[in-house]
Every structure is written in structure tokens, then in C-alpha cells.
Chains A and B, each alone.
Chain A
Amino acid sequence: MKPLSLYIHVPFCRSKCAYCDFASFPGREGEWGRYFEALWGEMEGWRDELSDREVATVFFGGGTPTLVDAGYIEETLARARRIWPFAPDAEITLEGNPGTLTPQKLAVYGRAGVNRLSMGAQSFDDGLLQSLGRIHTAAQIGEAVRMARGAGFSNINLDLMYALPGQTMAQWRDTLEAALGLGVPHISAYSLIVEEGTPMAARVARGEAVVPDDDAVNALQREAVSRLAAAGLARYEISNYARPGFECRHNLVYWNRGDYLGLGCAAHSLVDGTRFSNPATLDGYLSGARRLDQQRLTAADAMEETLMLSTRTTRGLDLAAWSAAFGAPFERGREAALAKLAAGGFIEISDGFLRLTPRGMQVQDAVVLELMEADE
């Protein structure tokens, strides 16, 4: 049976963070029930079309999936299991906010089969947390992790953010230390992107917030790589670090272009070589629109995606797999670009893989652009 990954979007939050431009809609608590009914209906609609699949991973993302009544999560997983068989070792991740976890909820998640928790810690500096508009404190992160452990969860991720306005290297080191001090096996460290239309962007535009320059951001990022590596968490993707065996299999599906079905509002899917997505707004989704922007991927699309996604990982681009999939060696027509990039220390090719060096990863977009087109 072909593996399938499920992404389930929970578009609810208690409040919107200053930097957030994801599909999340605070103040819509009254619509939880309606939303999940719709989502279950959508899932049911795939029963016939996507039979003969085994669920390998599930990821509840948001929004804040831990905000809604745990029963919704439990019921969603139960219904999924009635449609597809789950692999015995299926990875089931629930994303959440440290401030919204309770022992009661955790008990329900565990019972429902959730075996991985991903918490939006972001920082262990209360001042920075506040400026980001987070609803939790540094202390609550520790409590949440201990609470999760108490409920039997050991596979825990903490999301951290750097390149925050006003963030010093010392603060970032403290945050890394605090996260490592909690003994979690997985950390995601994202550089802040100031998105248009967010309160953060307005603050930056007004000069109230100053984001660090590229060199400072690179220094923060290098600090994460070395500190986390020293603690046994190796970088396996541009923003992701894990102890061996704790890499997020669900996210790896995205980067390896495996099949995934996104359910709920704003969810994206790649199924059998076609990409599509659901309406980005809650209202759009509730109105019943589904599977928008369908794009049947051409070979050229697939090549472009393979290049831009695989080079995010430290495993790199599998040259033999490329030849097999696209009928020509990756290197053909790219000799000059590859030589130039290798000489510049941006890439290396070994054991049949093309990998970006740490330096290359800092400029991954530009490196990919150089390799995008092969000369005839």
C-alpha cells in the first residue's frame, strides 16, 4: 500500500501573534464544531478516491490545535482510522501552544494516538515573547514540557525563533540553553520573516522595531547549528535539528515530495502528482469550496520542486534518483554552474548526493536559482 500523510489544519487561535500571517482566526470559538464537521466531511469524501493507502504520518497544524477541545482531535483521528489503515509506527504530531496545554487534554491526545508534540516556544525571554504577542511565558514552556512528559510524551519539538527585533546573541544563547535544558529531542529554529500586513511589519516600517542585518542573522543561525550539534541535535534541514531517529517524518515527506493530503482550511496537498489547496479563509472553507488551484505537475515542475526541496535537507539531492526519475543526469548542462558553486563553497557532491554546505544553506534560494535551468 502506498503511504499517505495527512495534514490537518486547525485555524483557531486565542489571539494573533505580531508576526503571524498564517491562516488562523481568533475569536471564532463558536465555530469549532461546524469547522470539524466540515473537515470530517471533507475527509470522508476521499474515502473512495484515495483507497489503498496507509497513513504513515499525521500532522495537526494551525493555528493552535491545542486550543480546541481535545475531543475534536480524538474524533478526527478516529474517523481517519475508519477510512485508512494506519501504519503501526505512524507518526502523529500535534502542534500547540505551551499556554493552552492541560493534563486533561494531554491524556486525551495520548489516548487518541498522538505520539509527537510540537510546541511554539519561540523564545525563553519573556520580554521578547511579549513583543511577539505570544500568550505564554518562558516558565510555561518548561511546565508544558514537564506536563507532556508526565502524560507519556517523549517525542517533543520546540519551535524557536531568531532574528527578532532587539534580540541579542546572549538572549539567543540563553534560549538555546533553556530549550536544551528541557531535554527535548527536536528543535526547529526559524529566522523571523517580517510578513507584509502584520503588526510586526508596521512596527518595522515605523522604525519601532529593527530587524538585525544579514550578517547578524547568519551569526545567530551558526550559533544554533553549533550549540545544538554539541548537544546531540544534528541539523537535518535548513531550520530543523534532531537527535538521531527523531527527525520529523511528516516534514520529510514535504521535502522528499511524498504524497500528502491536506484537510481543512488553507491546507495544501500533493497527491499522485497533482498539487491543490483549500480556501485560505475560514469562511471560504465553510462555504464548501475545496481543491482549488489544481496543478498537474509537469516533469519540469517536478524537477524544479525536487531541486528546491531536497536541497533544504542535509541528505541532499539524490543524483541517482534524479536520473531515474527524469531520464538524464542532473549534472548535464549544469557543469559550469556546479563547478562555480563548488569552488565557491556553496555545494558539495559526494556519495551520489548533491548537498548544500552550511554556507550554501544561507543562500539556498540563490543557489537553487543557479541550478534551476540546465543548458541544452
Chain B
Amino acid sequence: MSYDQSRIRNFCIIAHIDHGKSTLADRILERTGVMKQRDMTDQVLDSMELERERGITIKSKAVRMPYVAKDGKEYILNLIDTPGHVDFTYEVSRALAACEGAILVVDASQGIEAQTLANVYMALEHDLEILPVINKIDLPSAQPEVVKQEIEDEIGLDCEGCPLVSAKQGIGIDDVLEDIVKNVPAPADDADAPLQALIFDSYYDNYRGAISSVRLKAGSVKVGDRIRMMAGNREFEVTEVGAYLPLGYSPKDSLNAGEVGYIAASIKDIADIRVGDTITLADNPAAEPLPGYKPVLPMVYCGIYPADGADYESLRDALEKLRLNDAALSYEPETSVALGYGFRCGFLGLLHMEIIQERLEREFDLDLVTTAPSVVYKVVKTDGETVFIDNPTNLPPVQEIDWMEEPMVDAQVITPQDYVGAIMELCQDKRGTFKDMKYIEGGRVLLKYDMPLNEVIYDFFDQLKSRTRGYASFDYELKGYARSDLVKLDMLLNGEQCDALSIIVHKDRAYPRGRSIAEKLKDAIPRQLFEIPIQAAIGGKVIARETVKALRKDVLAKCYGGDISRKKKLLEKQKEGKKRMRQVGSVAVPSEAFMAVLKMD
């Protein structure tokens, strides 16, 4: 089909987690024939094993689908998949910027949820045409009319004639496709202007190098063109352009304004492609980049160390490989007295951190020791210098600190009314400042708090889940820094400070945290030949103390009949166990102990 912008529809699907986004995407792929039914695995777009297991989308992808509509004309539908988690908000926002329309999937029984609203607001910010779709109408608990009313009342979207579907059963898929053709605006981009291609995703391909997923907002690009990354300010020669198939590439001669596809240019380092950046032509550059680019800044840091020091190189290689596909992951070598050689890694959020840790262990078969996550603190020193600290160990001495600031977030919780009390108590506990409370449809309440990020990364999700039996949903956005009374809490084992266990904490929380960590460590550290005092201290002042009692008895009574194999095996096992422990002064500390800092109660 020749290039005709009026026949292009660029859209994405937005939904609260579990409302059936991926299943609907699968049905659309199937219905348009780009995927044959026999090729379908569940949730084609979620190709990473981990994504499928967790039912979440981690990276965005795009697929081009030809579709002959009921009007007899052939259209090109570009489905841009977006990540579904708050950690990846920036990537979602870039993917939305590549579209003209968004399908809003709402579960016919659940109705609007926290992320539904968050996504809608984001889509509205990008001036997208929002097409509501009520999903899971096959469920006995489905109340499509109620949900439609809810959408009209709360979001103000017209739900007259909106498709009622069951993605699972394949009901109503045609209606969705016709809806897209009719109601998603065609792009209206200037094909003759200088090239402006928005990068909304990037990843690494072993044969093509680092690849940009792009939406052309102006101009065109073809093989052999010299392109420039406008924010990155680097130039490359285009080796391939094309469109995406569900499971591969469809190279084309050129990409033109309004189209979605990929650009390969033998780029070796994924870091040269920044999501949100604009690609233009080196010899005919656009005057301005497209708006909205911001560098991705990690919000959460933690130390990752190999459980066996000998695996340091493997860990570095693994991080390098993951980094190829994940520009948001950062890592720097660091050393810890307790843990040896490892890396300080930066993540977009807690989920991102968990995913990376899990992928390292699963895909690279590594045994890891991770330290408690930390946010980035701003420290203003008495000499006027401002430093940012992502590792508590690097905090300057108290006397050099004038004041400290910590990152704050706008936190938003949507909960059934019954749990409002419990959530307010939790947010209070977490040093939250109440901002707003709003009653919304269906007996639910929207709560807004200002909260320190360091409280959010410490056990907040688990607490929220357990206190609301999983009914509340949570969303947050970085707001900025606020001055705060923070202290460094150190843990001493047998009188020696263990750097990997230090945390930065609000002064008022230091005492209970210190006591709780000391208790956790007491349980995690096995008895040894000598008694081990565990102390929590601020500055030089001990605020909590526990003791691991000395080992009383550890001996195999009998080596029977000259069979020493058992004794040997036992010793081998103990030796192995000892190897997996970290030596802090004279104390052997098992890997799990370093995670003790993470858990509350």
C-alpha cells in the first residue's frame, strides 16, 4: 500500500493492571491477521518470560497491522504497547506522545481504578482521543452499564456505543477495530518538513545494534541518511528502517511523517539512544526538537554484589547485557568493606529494581547479595557545596553537613471507603502530609498525600496491601526535594561498623528502625564461637542493642567404624556456608542478613 497519512491510525491501549490490556492486544493482532491463531502464545507483546509471569508489561513495543475496514478501504493500524507500571511512567508518556488515540480498557466488574485515572489524565495531557472499551463482559459479575455510567460521570467520556468486549472470548473485537478507524484521528504531519522522529522506545538487537522505535512527526528518513540525535548530539548513518511485525521486522525503503517504525544505525551503545529524544537529519536538521524530552533519572539505588566474590566479572557482564536493553538501568562499580566488590545500581523504582534483580538471578544464574534500597539525598555542606548521596556510606561527616533534603512524592491512593482509616494511619506512619480526600464513584475514596520517597520504598506497598487486603491502589510521582531531619543509622557487629547495613532515616524513625534491624540481624546471624553484640548507632551513640549468644554445642559425637565421610560432608557444607557468608570484622554474616534492613515487622 502506498503512503497515505489518512489511512494511518496510531493508537495505544491503556488500562489498570489486570483489566485485560494484553489479551485485547492479542485479539487485535489475531483479528487483523498479522498473527495466525496457531502462532499465538498468550500475550504476544509481552515476550519477556518475566513479563508474562508477572502479567505486566515492562518495555513498550509497536506493531503495524494492515486492516480492511467495513468501508472497504485498507488502513494501517499501529499499536504501540505501553508499560503498565508507575516506575515506567516516563516511557508511557513517550509512547503516548507517539499516538493520536488511546483505547481505554475498563474491566466490566472492577470499573475505574487508580491507574485507569492516572493513564487517562496522561493521555489527555497528550491530547489523545480516548476510546473507552468495556472488557470482560462475559464474567457473571460484569456490570457494563454501571461502568459506562461511571466513566461518563468521572472522566466525562461519552460511552454511547462504546464497544462491549470480552477479549478472552474474542467478543466485540471487530467493534474495537472499527471504532479505531472511525474515531482515532489520522496523523496530520508535514512530510516535506525536516525530519523529526520521536524515540519512544529503544532496545538492543544482536544483529542490528541498538534500535530506536520512532514515530515520525515530520519529514522522512531512509537507508543511508545521516541522522542526528538532537539531545544526545551524536550522528549515525541509517542502515535499516522499517515497520514492526509481532515477532520481527519488516524492512522498508523509507519511513514518512505519521508513520511508526524502527531505525537501525549500527549504534553500539543503547545509551546513545535516549527515549524521548528527537532524531533529525544531519544535513537538513529540524529547527527544534519535539517537546517533552527529559533524561531518565534513577530514583532508587541499591548495592548489588555477587554472593561469591569470584562471580564479580559475571555480574558485570550480566549488568552490561541488561543495560543494552534498558537505558534506565545505571550501574557503577563500588566496594564495600563487608561485601567486597560489587555495583551501585540505579533504578526507576522498586519494581524496576526487583525485575533487574530477578533477571540477574534467573537469566544469568547469579547468586546475589543486595543492600537495602536508598533514594538520592541532597546534602548541603557547611562550606556551601551541594552533593547528592545515593549510598549512605558516602554521607559526609555530620559536622560538615549544614542541612539535608530528601525526595518527596505526590502519592495518590484509591481505596474502598472501609480502609480510609487504615490508610491514613499508614500514611501518617510514613511521614505523609495529608493533601486531599475525594469521594468517587462506587463507594471509593481518593486520598492524596505528600510523602518522602524513602518511606515509600521501605515496606509501603506490602503494608498497603496487607492493611487493605489488596483493595487499594497506589500511584506516585516525584515532586521535588524537601528539607528534612535525617540521620545516618549505622549497625555495629561486635563493635565494628558494617557499611553495607547503614541507612539514612528520619530522626524520629531512627530508634524503632534501629531496634527492629538489630532484632532482625539477631535472628539472621547464626551463633558463632563468640558472643556477638549487635548495636544500632547514630553518630557514636548506641540506640539499640541485641546479642547473638555464643555457640554452645557443635560437635559430631561419633565417627562410627572409621566412616568419616559424614563428618567430612558436614564440614564441607559448613565450609560452603562459610564461604557464602560475609566477614565483618570477626563476625560471619549470611547474605540474607543484609536484606534484614528492608523488612519492617
Contacts and interface: CB of A to CB of B under 8 A. Distances in A.
Interface of A: 7, 9, 22, 59, 61, 190-193, 214-215, 217-218, 238-239, 253-255, 260, 262, 266-270, 275, 277, 293, 304-305, 308-309, 312, 340-341, 344, 346, 361-370, 372
Contacts of B568: 304-305, 308
A94 to B, nearest CB: 14
Contact of A268 (B556, B561, B574): B561
A139 to B, nearest CB: 26
B565 interface: yes
B264 to A, nearest CB: 51
Contacts of B557: 190-193, 238-239
A268 B529 contact: no
B559 to A, nearest CB: 6
B529 A344 contact: yes
A365 B556 contact: yes
B554 interface: yes
Nearest to B553: A214
B317 to A, nearest CB: 27
B563 A268 contact: yes
Nearest to B570: A365
Contacts of A267: 561-562
18 contacts: A61-B560, A218-B552, A238-B555, A254-B559, A254-B562, A254-B564, A270-B562, A304-B568, A304-B571, A308-B571, A309-B559, A312-B559, A340-B530, A344-B530, A362-B553, A362-B554, A363-B529, A366-B528
B466 interface: no
B382 interface: no
Contacts of A253: 562
Given A191-B557, A362-B554, 14 more contacts: A9-B561, A61-B561, A217-B553, A254-B562, A268-B561, A275-B564, A309-B559, A340-B530, A344-B530, A361-B555, A362-B555, A365-B555, A369-B575, A369-B578
Contact of B575 (A7, A190, A266, A372): A372
Interface in B543-596: 551-565, 567-568, 570-571, 574-575, 578, 586
Contact of A277 (B529, B530, B565): B565
B530 A309 contact: no
A7 to B, nearest CB: 6
A301 to B, nearest CB: 9
Contacts of A238: 555, 557
A238 B529 CA distance: 18
B556 A193 contact: yes
Nearest to B578: A369
A13 to B, nearest CB: 15
A218 B528 CA distance: 16
Interface residues of B, number: 26
A76 to B, nearest CB: 16
B529 to A, nearest CB: 5
Given A61-B560, A260-B562, A268-B563, A346 B529 contact: yes
Contact of A364 (B555, B561, B563): B555
Contacts of A368: 571
Given A262-B562, A312-B559, A365 B574 contact: yes
B571 A365 contact: yes
Contacts of B530: 340, 344
Contacts of B586: 340
A304 to B, nearest CB: 7
Contact of B558 (A7, A239, A270): A239
Q: Count chain A CB atoms within 10 A of each CB in B554, B563, B568, B575 and give the residue with the most.
A: B563
Nearest 9 pairs of A and B residues by beta carbon: A214-B552, A214-B553, A364-B555, A268-B563, A363-B554, A191-B557, A366-B554, A365-B554, A254-B562
A254 B561 CA distance: 8
A308 B562 contact: no
Given A214-B552, A268-B565, A305-B564, A366 B559 contact: no
Contacts, number: 98
Contacts of A308: 564, 567-568, 571
A341 B529 contact: yes
Q: Count chain A CB atoms within 10 A of each CB in B528, B530, B553 and give the residue with the most.
A: B553
A281 B315 CA distance: 45
Q: Count chain B CB atoms within 10 A of each CB in A262, A308, A369, A370 and give the residue with the most.
A: A369
A239 B467 CA distance: 55
A62 B559 CA distance: 14
Contacts of A7: 561-562
A363 B562 contact: no
A264 to B, nearest CB: 10
Nearest to B552: A214
A310 B207 CA distance: 62
Given A277-B565, A344-B530, A346-B529, A363 B559 contact: no
Contacts of B560: 22, 61
Nearest to A309: B564
Contacts of B552: 214-215, 218, 362-363
Interface string B110-127: 000000000000000000
B517 to A, nearest CB: 26
Contacts of A22: 560
A245 B72 CA distance: 108
Given A308-B571, A344-B530, A372-B571, A363 B561 contact: no
Nearest to A366: B554
A365 to B, nearest CB: 5
A316 to B, nearest CB: 15
A369 B565 contact: no
A285 to B, nearest CB: 14
Q: Count chain A CB atoms within 10 A of each CB in B551, B555, B560, B564 and give the residue with the most.
A: B555
Nearest to B563: A268
Contact of A369 (B556, B558, B563, B571): B571
B555 A363 contact: yes
Contacts of A239: 557-558
A4 to B, nearest CB: 13
A254 B563 CA distance: 9
Contacts of A266: 561, 563
B573 to A, nearest CB: 10
Interface string B69-91: 00000000000000000000000
Contacts of B578: 369
Contacts of A341: 529
A215 to B, nearest CB: 6
Contacts of B551: 363, 366
A218 B555 CA distance: 11
A346 B560 CA distance: 25
A262 to B, nearest CB: 6
A277 B560 CA distance: 13
B580 to A, nearest CB: 13
A369 B563 CA distance: 19
A312 B570 CA distance: 15
A7 B564 CA distance: 14
Nearest to B559: A254
A367 B564 CA distance: 17
Nearest to A368: B571
Contacts of A340: 530, 586
Contacts of A305: 564, 568
B570 A262 contact: no
A310 to B, nearest CB: 12
A7 B559 CA distance: 13
Contacts of B562: 7, 253-254, 260, 262, 267-270
Contacts of A370: 529
A313 B557 CA distance: 12
